[in-house]
Amino acid sequence: MAMKGAGISCPLLFFYPKLIYMKKHYTTTIIVLVLSFGAQFITAQCGTSSTVYAFDYDGRTYEVVKENKSWTDAAACAVMRGGKLAEINNAAENTAIFNALSNEAGITLSSTSTSNGGGASYVWIGGNDITTEGSWIWDGDNKDTSTPFWSGTKAGTSVNSLYNNWGETNAQNEPDNYMPSPSSPDQDGLAIALNAWPTHLPSGFGLGTAGQWNDIDASQTLYYIVEHNKTLSHETFTPDSIKVYVSKSNELFVDAQNWILESIEIFDVTGAKIITTAATSLKQNKMDISEFNKGVYLVRIITSSGDSTIRKILK
C-alpha cells in the first residue's frame, strides 16, 4: 500500500520518553520542538476538573476529556495525563465506554460533531492509519510500537481476528477514507460515534449507528477518551498544578503542590533519558543540574497514582 503524506515537512514531537516521528504536520498540545527554521514550543490545556469525567471498567480508569483536539493532539494529551487514547478490545468494553459517553459524561453532542463524519458526534479513540493508508493500528500513546487490528477499507479484514466495530447498517460501510474532493485530507483517525450518520438519513439507512466506529479526518477537533492501565483515584489530575523551574544556581525544582510524586525523569532534545530519580517529598523536589550542558531539556514528572506530565526547561 502507498505511503501517505509524501512531501509534507514534519516536526519531531517530544511528548513521550522517545522521539516520535510523525509524517503529518499537526500541532501537539504538550510540547513541540520544531527542528526547522528555529525552535518553537507550544503548551496547552489537557483536561481540568470541569472538563474530565472519569469512570472505572474492568480494573482500569477511563477519562472522558471534553476538550476539542485533533487526533494527534488528543494522543499527546492522553500521554500527558499518564495514559493513552482508549484501545477497545471487545464488545463489552465498547458498550461500557459508549454507555459512559452517552449517559454519564454530560456531553453536548453539538460540541463534538464534525461534517467530516456525516454531521454526527464523535469521540476520539486510539486507532489510526496515519502511517500507511488502510493499515489500522492501536497506537493511542504515539509510541513507536503499535498493534495492527484492521487491514483495508470496508471490504478489508480483521488482523489476527482482533475486535472491530466499524459502521454498518445492512452491510459494513466503514472505513471508507471518504474524501469529498481530491484536495481533501485522508480520514486517518478512529472515533466512536454518539449518534447515527449521516444525520440527514432516516434510521437504518445511513452508514453507521451510535456506538460504532468511523474513520475521520485526524485534523478535526473532537472530545477524546483516555484509558489508564489501572484504577486511579477519581480526583481529577490537573497537570498545570505541577510547577517546574530552574534556579540561578542551576537547581531544578519540581513543585507538586498537593500531588504525591513517584519519580522524575529528564531527557535531552534527542529523546535520550539522562537521569531518573525517585521523588522525595509531597511538596517540592530539588535536583542539581549544574553539570548539564546548556540547552533545552524535557522533564517528565510521574505521580504516585500513575498520572504524568511533561515540562520543558532551559538551562
Average pLDDT on 117-145 reads 93
166 band by pLDDT with thresholds 50, 70 and 90 = very high
pLDDT of residue 2: 40
Cβ contact 257:240 at 8 Å: no
Strands (E), 233-307: 243-246, 251-255, 261-268, 273-278, 284-288, 296-303
Q: Break the chain into its structural domains and give their ranges.
A: 46-227, 242-314
Cβ contact 89:229 at 8 Å: no
Please report where in the chains the cell 486507532 appears, as a residue: 127
pLDDT of residue 280: 66
Q: pLDDT by residue (tens digit) across 184-201? A: 899 999 999 999 999 999
Q: Is 76 helix (H, G, I), strand (E, B) or coil?
A: helix
Residue 144 exposure: Cα atoms within 13 Å on the Cβ side: 10
pLDDT of residue 40: 27
Cα separation of 227 and 62, whole Å? 5
CATH class of 242-314: mainly beta
Q: pLDDT by residue (tens digit) across 17-46? A: 333 333 333 333 333 333 222 222 323 578
- Give the CA angle between residues 139, 228, 310 to the nearest 5°: 75
Cβ count within 10 A of residue 293: 8
Cα separation of 13 and 225, whole Å? 21
Cell numbers placing 86: 482508549
Please report where in the chains the cell 510524586 appears, as a residue: 261
Q: Which CATH number does 46-227 carry? A: 3.10.100.10
